[in-house]
Structure 1
């Protein structure tokens, strides 16, 4: 699929009546695996991007250029329609416009812009939100910056876990009024909150984090959620596999005896060796 087709596929998810779990991906191969398995969509989390590119925690020190480069590798590799956590848009509303331009060019299907005060300001460590007017300005700027109308712009708010349900509803209503395509919420603790957000905005909801036991995909779907994250477990799983393999080699395990290694056929398929072999025959006289 080209970028527009991927964006239309993501819009179809939002317009449907089911709730899907996105695959958490971080490079070309993880994106291909997600597509091969059949995930309808994928996500690149901000924390995962920071870990993958910098080996650093999610302190908003990744640059837009670094994020866009990583996104381009993932989308070029054939990942499912990709939702990207664009954090606060890397600055003010003008920076948000640049963020949308760069990520659209990199092939994302959807991106979120959040109203958290980022990066962390000087002083005590306490999560704070932007004033509503400033957050609204960022969403309006994001919408103005896209050139492909099929690109999905999602307004993200952390108000449920920072201020109140009433504030979350007010912010979501304002973002919906500006033209956002969906509302992404974190800190969900009650299904009634989803109902209130759905009724206030009429928009599909995306759930980033929720109280344990609140319900599975079918339950969330019935309350207006169309995408629900399950966390970002693939990157730490890959880290453990790499460390275990290196430790085994360091301890003297013979390469042929290493457990958990993808076989040759799997690697050839995931790196599209047949495609490149055909190109060699066609264009290099091989």
Structure 2
């Protein structure tokens, strides 16, 4: 398979004994930067996808076609294994099938399919979850849709849904056990805040775990590893930093700063390296007879 190596790399992380922090990536250049810096994997979040493609907040306004095309661009740019936030699969279980097919073909190393009711229901005070039965159907559809058995399918849920914290945690555990029984490769949790919550989930399940929040009590990587957490996400700071840098640069230019006096610009060598300029020039010389 064209994407086999990156999927094998992600599976090796899940099968290992260490917990890694993925790079938050959102386009070809950010994926190349992460790969060059030695990150084991990348994470393409739904929120950054919406920001990078549409400039909109994370309200599930991005389409599957737009998401898949952005994944394809990142896959083409390098060999970094990227775990893609596929949200709710863009609809029901049949839509999940289409989502998996498109993202698999685009080169994703793995996907997360969540059981959040999306888009948010009219009049709802906060995020809601679909029934466990519908969630199981989505997981089964995702597993059945993949052509490459190396593609990682993660069942994603959270301790949301309202009510007492204990009830929410119990619901998350019940969903995780159901998705594990359905055959997913790993479990992704959002909303966990304490060690006790993670320990309860780890005790009730057997699959590798990925976490969307690893602050406070969940910042200790050794502890996370001991609880089978193999992927510990730490937000999308790179996109936020890039936004601030673009804003500052454009403001400086608008205020009359000369381009030569701008601060924080990449060196010529860094730009050449990230754009793979030497490789492009070599191909141009070999196929077009161009001299560099």
Normalising by structure 2, we get a TM-score of: 0.95
1:167 aligned partner: 171
Alignment RMSD (CA, Å): 1.4
Cα deviation for residue 2 of structure 1 reads 4.4
1:11 aligned partner: 11
Count the aligned residue pairs. 286
Distance 2:260 2:79 in 1: 31
Cα deviation for residue 236 of structure 1 reads 1.1
Distance 1:110 1:231 in 2: 18
Q: Is the 8 A contact 2:112 2:153 kept in 1?
A: yes
- Structure 2: give runs of 5+ residues left out of the alignment: none
Distance 2:2 2:273 in 1: 21
Cα deviation for residue 210 of structure 1 reads 4.3
2:92 aligned partner: 92
Distance 1:4 1:140, change over 3 A: same
Give the secondary structure class of the aligned counterpart of 2:231. Answer: strand
Cα deviation for residue 254 of structure 1 reads 1.2
2:265 aligned partner: 261
Cα deviation for residue 190 of structure 1 reads 2.1
1:277 aligned partner: 281
Q: Is the 8 A contact 2:180 2:207 kept in 1?
A: yes
Distance 1:210 1:120 in 2: 25
Cα deviation for residue 169 of structure 1 reads 1.0
User: C-alpha offsets along residues 16-66 of structure 1, whole Å, 9 cap, x if unaligned?
Assistant: 111101000111000000000000010010000000000000101100000
1:83 aligned partner: 83
Q: Is the 8 A contact 1:195 1:224 kept in 2?
A: no
Cα deviation for residue 200 of structure 1 reads 2.2
Q: Is the 8 A contact 1:6 1:81 kept in 2?
A: yes
Normalising by structure 1, we get a TM-score of: 0.97
Q: Is the 8 A contact 2:97 2:145 kept in 1?
A: yes
Cα deviation for residue 212 of structure 1 reads 2.2
